[in-house]
């Protein structure tokens, strides 16, 4: 039996990939800069060279590899294509799984990054004993991987789980989102959304805050807001309160939808710890029907950040 | 092979039940008044007497019956219990499926009314060729039955699909809902919600409207609002616009969640036809991500109203 798989975490900036064993250990890993390959063919060549090198360096051959899994923005599990991904250099419909399979001689499966994270949680993470749960990724965007009856939900067309593009502002004047809509939760409750909120407050008010002392307000990050909150900054705390409440309200909707056993959060914003988790939990419970109040645990992924995306992707192959 | 089933539509006011064949025909049906049985034992006795009479009058015996299905408010598919149903005379946890099975000598399966409707649509209605769709019931309340990969979604605890209790008003000052929360979509977008909106406008403004001519504003119904809209009443039209937009916005969230092939609406409010359907579709498409805009059909159930709930319940048994 083949005991190894390759996992690819295809991101807008960089692509990380690794060789993974059945026990969920990333044995070897490497990366290439996604944006430096405007031609998809060149990108696939470079990626496959890298993947083959990992296999060879571990003293294995491709016949030891059971398959390749890839988490990518707008990756469609059904078609194997990356479709209209706004943050990637390649436009239109890219037959990514086919291109990798052909170069590697092994089947390649793709899905979006949040679905890969959910798959990883189910196989290696804190959802190992769960059949119904939701993973929310809070990074540059807000993604979601929904597991129902032990399977990732893909829906009719492969694109289920776009929670980040549910709106929290229907006025038409909400923040512009990468998807072209206004008012999506992603524009508020991602790590980037936290930075936008911070920048708005600093530039549009005269309130006292440590955030005003940052050298470059245009490049403020959620980490800066976290650091300020840790130092007792009231504006920073309020930013997390605001963000967490918006997200918690929306999570309540999703509990009403699929009645999960738990919600697992993943990604950069979770590093803000209790500052973001407390208001999320508070707003979630405030907005749940009585039968669910206090019963839906919200936790931070237990998977090691650097490995989780590769593991999740590789788990598609096992 | 057994070709008949019994279906029970257990409602807060009345209970309808019928004998159904494999082709989805209701051969015989009857009803009893739910509220006249404060004791659950007496209710079950009366119901089972009625069910047995249907079977006998058709010239059949219980050995011809493959099973019994029941749609009931707060009916839990997993436990077979009706749990804390606010509009039923029996409090707490009622082991309904067991009580009926014991009296009838045939297995009884229960679920909530919206899930039964979804099951009915899948087996006999307009969703016969679909594997992923959502049924929304718009009656006294707002219910939802979600079908994923050809199966009704029950979630971790059996209560998935409570879309009616997602909030559209998080201010804490929204309308009080039967579930005890404030601001639930059910308090606005049900037939009852339409009546509440109408009453609010008539009693809190001096606007000219045919609705003001009704004998008893306290008993206004969504049918009255429909009649006024048909006569060109601007306030009535505006009530449907308001209601449809709220519902359409929320439906967009659910498309982002599960990516269904279609949404099917069911129940009293759908009788308002294009007055309610047009704003629902408009708001849905305004709030969908570009990949789904214009692609998710919203239709009214094709099942005959009087039979649909019985058929849906009976379909649980087949």
Q: What CATH number does residue B9 fall under? A: 3.30.420.40
Nearest-by-Cβ selection for B156 from A84, A162, A260: A260
Interface of B with A in 74-133 (CB under 8 A): 83-84, 131-132
Q: Considering the domain boundaries, does residue A125 fall inside one?
A: no
Chain B residues in contact with A160 (beta carbon < 8 A):
257-259
Flag residues of chain A having pLDDT under 50. none
Q: Say yes or no: A189 and A235 in one domain.
A: yes
Residues 6 or more apart whose Cβ sits within 8 Å of residue B219: none
Q: Say yes or no: A162 and A260 in one domain.
A: yes
Q: Say yes or no: B109 and B149 in one domain.
A: no
Task: Give the model's pLDDT for residue B113.
Answer: 87
Nearest-by-Cβ selection for B257 from A180, A257, A287: A257
CA distance B239 to A118: 42
Task: Give the model's pLDDT for residue B1.
Answer: 61
Flag residues of chain B having pLDDT under 50. none
Q: Say yes or no: A272 and A154 in one domain.
A: yes
Are A191 and A269 in contact by the 8 Å Cβ rule? The answer is: yes
Looking up tokens 């499966």 gives A109
Interface A–B counts its CB contacts (< 8 A) at 116
Q: Is A311 on the interface with B (CB under 8 A)?
A: no
Question: Which segments of chain A does DSSP mark as H helices, in order?
Answer: 40-57, 96-104, 113-124, 186-189, 191-204, 222-230, 234-258, 274-286, 305-315
Q: Say yes or no: B135 and B115 in one domain.
A: no
Give residue A108's Cα distance to chain centre.
20
Two structure tokens written together for B173: 């000052």
- The C-alpha angle with vertex B40 and arms to B38 and B46, in degrees rounded to 5, equals 95
Q: Which residues pair with A292 in a beta bridge?
A: none
Strand, coil or helix: A16: strand
Q: Say yes or no: A153 and A276 in one domain.
A: yes
Q: Say yes or no: B296 and B310 in one domain.
A: no
Task: Give the model's pLDDT for residue A172.
Answer: 93
Q: Say yes or no: A286 and A145 in one domain.
A: yes
Task: Give the model's pLDDT for residue A6.
Answer: 98
Task: With CA atoms as reference, report the closest residue to B135 among B224, B12, B42, B265.
Answer: B265
Are B130 and B147 in contact by the 8 Å Cβ rule? The answer is: yes
Q: Would you call B291 and A166 a contact, using CB atoms and an 8 Å cutoff?
A: no
CA distance B70 to A4: 49
Cα pseudo-dihedral B178, B179, B180, B183, rounded to 10: -80
Q: Considering the domain boundaries, does residue A25 fall inside one?
A: yes
Q: Would you call B153 and A148 a contact, using CB atoms and an 8 Å cutoff?
A: yes
Task: Give the model's pLDDT for residue A240.
Answer: 98
Residues 6 or more apart whose Cβ sits within 8 Å of residue B202: B209, B211, B212, B217, B220
Q: Say yes or no: A201 and A57 in one domain.
A: no
Q: Is A165 on the interface with B (CB under 8 A)?
A: yes
Task: Give the model's pLDDT for residue B132.
Answer: 97
C-beta neighbour count of A48 within 10 angstroms: 18
Are A162 and A144 in contact by the 8 Å Cβ rule? The answer is: yes
Q: Is A312 on the interface with B (CB under 8 A)?
A: no
Task: With CA atoms as reference, report the closest residue to B64 among B122, B112, B14, B6.
Answer: B6
Handedness of CA B55, B61, B63, B64 (dihedral sign): negative
CA distance A26 to A29: 7
The number of folded domains in chain A is 2
Cα pseudo-dihedral A127, A131, A132, A135, rounded to 10: 30
Residue B284 belongs to what domain range? 129-301
Q: In terms of DSSP bridges, do strands A262-266 and A151-152 run parallel, antiparallel, or are they unpaired?
A: unpaired
Task: With CA atoms as reference, report the closest residue to A147 among B166, B78, B292, B258.
Answer: B258
Q: Say yes or no: B191 and B282 in one domain.
A: yes
Q: Would you call A154 and B259 a contact, using CB atoms and an 8 Å cutoff?
A: yes
Q: In terms of DSSP bridges, do strands A133-138 and A142-148 run parallel, antiparallel, or are they unpaired?
A: antiparallel
Q: Say yes or no: B273 and B200 in one domain.
A: yes
Q: Say yes or no: A70 and A84 in one domain.
A: yes
Q: Is B154 on the interface with A (CB under 8 A)?
A: yes
Task: Give the model's pLDDT for residue A275.
Answer: 98
pTM of the model: 0.92
Q: Would you call B287 and A167 a contact, using CB atoms and an 8 Å cutoff?
A: yes
CA distance B255 to B262: 9
Chain A residues in contact with B170 (beta carbon < 8 A):
249, 287
pLDDT tens string B91-130: 889 999 999 999 999 999 999 889 999 999 998 888 998 9
Q: Would you call A166 and B261 a contact, using CB atoms and an 8 Å cutoff?
A: no
Task: Give the model's pLDDT for residue A1.
Answer: 60
Q: Considering the domain boundaries, does residue A260 fall inside one?
A: yes
Looking up tokens 């039209």 gives B237
């Amino acid at each position: 039996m083949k005991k190894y798989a390759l996992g690819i975490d295809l991101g807008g900036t960089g692509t990380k990939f690794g060789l993974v064993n059945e026990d969920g250990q990333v044995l070897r890993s490497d990366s290439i800069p996604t944006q430096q390959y405007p031609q998809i063919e060149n990108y696939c060549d470079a990626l496959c060279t890298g993947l083959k090198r990992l296999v060879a360096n571990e003293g294995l051959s491709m016949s030891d590899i059971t398959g390749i899994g890839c988490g990518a923005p707008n990756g469609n599990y059904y078609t194997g294509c990356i479709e209209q991904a706004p943050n990637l250099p390649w436009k239109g419909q890219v037959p990514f799984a086919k291109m990798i399979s052909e170069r590697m001689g092994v089947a390649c499966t793709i899905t979006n990054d949040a679905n890969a994270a959910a798959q990883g949680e189910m196989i290696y993470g804190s959802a190992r004993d769960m059949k119904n749960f939701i993973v929310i990724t809070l990074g540059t965007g807000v993604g979601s991987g929904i597991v129902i009856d032990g399977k990732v939900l893909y829906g009719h067309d492969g694109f289920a789980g776009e929670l980040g593009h549910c709106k929290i502002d229907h006025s038409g004047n909400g923040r512009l989102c990468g998807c072209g809509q206004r008012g999506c939760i992603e524009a508020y409750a991602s790590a980037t959304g936290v930075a936008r909120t911070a920048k708005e407050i600093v530039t549009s008010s005269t309130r006292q805050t440590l955030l005003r002392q940052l050298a470059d307000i245009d490049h403020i990050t959620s980490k800066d807001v976290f650091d300020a909150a840790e130092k007792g900054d009231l504006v920073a705390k309020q930013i997390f309160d605001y963000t967490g409440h918006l997200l918690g309200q929306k999570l309540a909707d999703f509990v009403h939808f699929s009645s999960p056993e738990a919600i697992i959060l993943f990604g950069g914003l979770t590093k803000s710890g209790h500052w973001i988790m407390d208001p999320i939990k508070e707003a979630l419970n405030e907005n749940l029907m009585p039968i669910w109040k206090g019963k839906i645990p919200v936790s931070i992924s237990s998977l090691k950040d650097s490995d989780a995306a590769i593991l999740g992707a590789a788990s598609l192959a096992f």
